[in-house]
Amino acid sequence: MKKTVDFDAIVIGAGFSGLYMLHKLRNDGFSVRVFEAGTDVGGTWYWNRYPGARCDIESIFYCYSFSEKITNNWTWSSRFAEQPEILSYINYVADELDLRKDIVFNKRVQSAHYDEQINLWRITLDDQSVVTAHYFITGVGQLSSANVPKMKGLENYKGEWYHTGTWPKHEVSFEGKKVGVIGTGSTGVQVIPTIAPKVKELYVFQRTPQYSTPAQNRPLPPEYVAETKAKAHELKMLRTQTPMGIDLMPGERSTLEVTKEERLRDFEYTWQKGAHSFVNTYYDIIFDPEANQHASEFIKSKIHEIVKDPEMAKELTPDYYYGARRPILDTNYFETFNRENVNLVNVKKDQIQQITEKGIQTSNQHYDLDMIIFATGYDGITGPLFKIDIRGKGGVSLKEKWENGANVRTYLGLATAGFPNMFMIVGPESATLGNFVAAIEQHVEWISDFVHYARTQVIDIIEANEKDEIQYSKTCKEIADQTLFTKVDSWFTGSNVEGKPKPKGFLIYLAGFHEFFKVSNEIAANGYQGFKLEKSADLVG
Ligand code: N01
């Protein structure tokens, strides 16, 4: 049967992933259309406009590296760029590469169904129009499905309320207001110190205290910028040769082989150095409970040193393994709790019972609030994919195949059996613990190389083998089980979303970017081992 398709590839999302995917495939001569729910490019950085939003990977790494021209033409102002600057950068890239002409904004993809009779993907948009493509590629990110907890009474609340991940474009005023922030993850830790000086009264509703180390953010001096541009090639190499896709390797020594004095000196050094240096002080911090305890105790002592009220310091002190949630970097987070206008509510002890017309009712007290900010995170990793009705062979949905998230199985996090010609950028079980943009660049290049290879070999159907993905998922879990990540609840394990099933596996490949790149490149070099490749010249669109 001869078929016609609208596009060679349809990509969802115009963030870092979708934009680069569009550029790569288009350069290779494929017809591509990107659909984006927002009104402009940016993805995460389009939606997350909350006060204090900035990257936690150094700006010189948190950007594309594929174009010398873009690298040379763009100058970051600070070590960790703020959201408006990152969004300007993404806009600059979109203009520079003339990407907008192939992006349809304001369009949400509702469903993507694979038609196995004629081997194409049929994509339905929110205006019920249908487009078809040979390849279906998701660039929806891991953290784009906002988690607004089901709290009784929210619909009756008369004040303003916002989720950080869908922050409005208009200016939000805090002056003279009593504001409640629910959630103290990376987002809450950025919002709280930023708005504390602006609000009349701030109430932080904390369920789990956080370990956080100082980002040590600062403006970038011109000579440093010149130096990084001169060694752009070297920095690019580091993205693929290090575990986190940045210029850091885990320490060479064990926490347990040094004296107490050395340990304190080393921890103090990495604490002052900032970025993700602290978690990398010694190689065993996220593997060995005893090593971890030393790092945890150091941070706990810092919390007690910084926070003047000993009771408050105690409430802010975590009691689980440090680093086993994505490590948080802050600017003046713990210091903010010394302000007169900042109050801490431990909602594990004093539970939120309901939202009232005027604020929040806990078991012990009513808090009158003009504004509530939900910094409650995301239905992570699987959430953005499950928001779309994706169906593969036999009409089976991704949700069904992955048992609602309890049994996720992928091959390299990039593909999954039963869903031919579908690729996921930063999908579940890919290596993303670190520099997301470096991960995205590698995934996009790997996918576009594969698609290019398929075209040259006249391969029409690409599908991961079930047996290989079962083995890959097993490996992912085995790697994670050697770390402390599987011993702590977090958005990686879905524990932050009420009713979300705990995955049997672990949804991030934790052996590091460098290992992931090696494994995925070897698979490619071996003729895409682990994939079924079918030639069917008649079906070529
Ligand atoms: O989300 P989180 P996030 N009642 O899930 C609490 C990236 N990121 O948006 O810990 C009360 O970590 C929840 O409590 P608990 C980064 O990868 C990057 O902060 O589940 N509280 C927790 O305190 C990060 O890891 C940057 O007990 C409730 C908080 O809300 C990821 O995004 C900046 C609750 C959610 O924390 C997620 O971070 C920001 C409830 N019903 C984010 N439900 C950069 O710097 C949830 N919570 C690049």
Nearest residue to 141 via CA among 25, 42, 66: 42
Taking the CA of residue 143 as reference, the ligand 1 atom at the shortest distance is 32
DSSP one-letter string for 121-136: EEEEETTS-EEEEEEE
From 86, 143, 192, the mutation candidate for ligand 1 (largest count of ligand atoms within 8 A of CB) is: 143
User: Which pLDDT belongs to residue 2?
Assistant: 55
Shortest-distance Cα residue to atom 3 of ligand 1: 377
From 148, 161, 163, 207, the mutation candidate for ligand 1 (largest count of ligand atoms within 8 A of CB) is: 207
Q: What six digits make up the tokens of 258? A: 């040094």
Cβ contact 154:355 at 8 Å? yes
Shortest-distance Cα residue to atom 8 of ligand 1: 186
Size (the chain), residues: 541
Cβ contact 375:146 at 8 Å? no
Nearest residue to 172 via CA among 342, 373, 37: 373
Taking the CA of residue 53 as reference, the ligand 1 atom at the shortest distance is 33
Place of tokens 């995301």: 378
132 C-alpha to center of ligand 1: Å?
36
241 C-alpha to center of ligand 1: Å?
29
| Strand 459-464 to 531-535 pairing | antiparallel
134 C-alpha to center of ligand 1: Å?
37
Q: Identify the burial level of 358 via C-beta atoms within 10 angstroms of its C-beta, where 0-12 means exposed, 13-18 middle and 19 or more buried.
A: middle
Taking the CA of residue 326 as reference, the ligand 1 atom at the shortest distance is 25
For residues 18 and 197, give the distance between their C-alpha atoms in angstroms, rounded to a whole number.
37
Cβ contact 429:142 at 8 Å? no
For residues 84 and 90, give the distance between their C-alpha atoms in angstroms, rounded to a whole number.
10
187 C-alpha to center of ligand 1: Å?
6
Nearest residue to 324 via CA among 187, 433, 214, 246: 433
User: Which pLDDT belongs to residue 496?
Assistant: 87
For residues 277 and 289, give the distance between their C-alpha atoms in angstroms, rounded to a whole number.
19
- DSSP state, 523? H
Q: What is the dihedral of CA 336, 341, 342, 346, to 10 degrees?
A: 160
374 C-alpha to center of ligand 1: Å?
10
Q: Which amino acid is at 396?
A: V
Cα 505 to chain centroid distance, Å, stands at 18
Q: Is 458 helix (H, G, I), strand (E, B) or coil?
A: coil
Taking the CA of residue 149 as reference, the ligand 1 atom at the shortest distance is 41
User: Which pLDDT belongs to residue 538?
Assistant: 47
Q: Which amino acid is at 305?
A: E
Domains and CATH numbers, the chain: 7-41+99-145+380-534 (3.50.50.60), 147-211+323-377 (3.50.50.60)
49 C-alpha to center of ligand 1: Å?
16
Shortest-distance Cα residue to atom 36 of ligand 1: 185
Nearest residue to 312 via CA among 288, 279, 336: 336
Query: What is the pTM assigned to this prediction?
Result: 0.96
SS (H, E, C) 345-393: EECCCCCEEEECCCEEEECCCEEECCEEEECCCECCCCHHHHCCEEECH
For residues 27 and 488, give the distance between their C-alpha atoms in angstroms, rounded to a whole number.
43
For residues 304 and 37, give the distance between their C-alpha atoms in angstroms, rounded to a whole number.
44
Q: What six digits make up the tokens of 133? A: 């493509």
381 C-alpha to center of ligand 1: Å?
13
146 C-alpha to center of ligand 1: Å?
10
311 C-alpha to center of ligand 1: Å?
24
Q: What six digits make up the tokens of 441? A: 């660049």
User: Which pLDDT belongs to residue 536?
Assistant: 72
From 44, 78, 144, 186, the mutation candidate for ligand 1 (largest count of ligand atoms within 8 A of CB) is: 186
Taking the CA of residue 495 as reference, the ligand 1 atom at the shortest distance is 20
Pocket of ligand 1 (CB under 6 A): 55-56, 143, 149, 182-188, 190, 205, 207-208, 326, 347, 375-378, 491, 496
Shortest-distance Cα residue to atom 11 of ligand 1: 207
Bridge partners (DSSP) listed for residue 374 = 163, 182
15 C-alpha to center of ligand 1: Å?
21
488 C-alpha to center of ligand 1: Å?
14
Work out the number of other CB atoms within 10 angstroms of the CB of residue 152.
12
Which residues have C-beta within 8 Å of that of residue 137, sequence separation ≥ 6? 9, 10, 11, 12, 21, 422, 423, 424, 425, 447
**Going residue by residue through the chain (541 aa), what tens digit of pLDDT does each one get?**
457 899 999 999 999 999 999 999 999 999 999 999 999 999 999 999 999 999 999 999 999 999 999 999 999 999 999 999 999 999 999 999 999 999 999 999 999 999 999 999 999 999 999 999 999 999 999 999 999 999 999 999 999 999 999 999 999 999 999 999 999 999 999 999 999 999 999 999 999 999 999 999 999 999 999 999 999 999 999 999 999 999 999 999 999 999 999 999 999 999 999 999 999 999 999 999 999 999 999 999 999 999 999 999 999 999 999 999 999 999 999 999 999 999 999 999 999 999 999 999 999 999 999 999 999 999 999 999 999 999 999 999 999 999 999 999 999 999 999 999 999 999 999 999 999 999 999 999 999 999 999 999 999 999 999 999 999 999 999 999 999 999 999 999 988 898 999 999 999 999 999 999 999 999 999 999 999 999 875 444 4
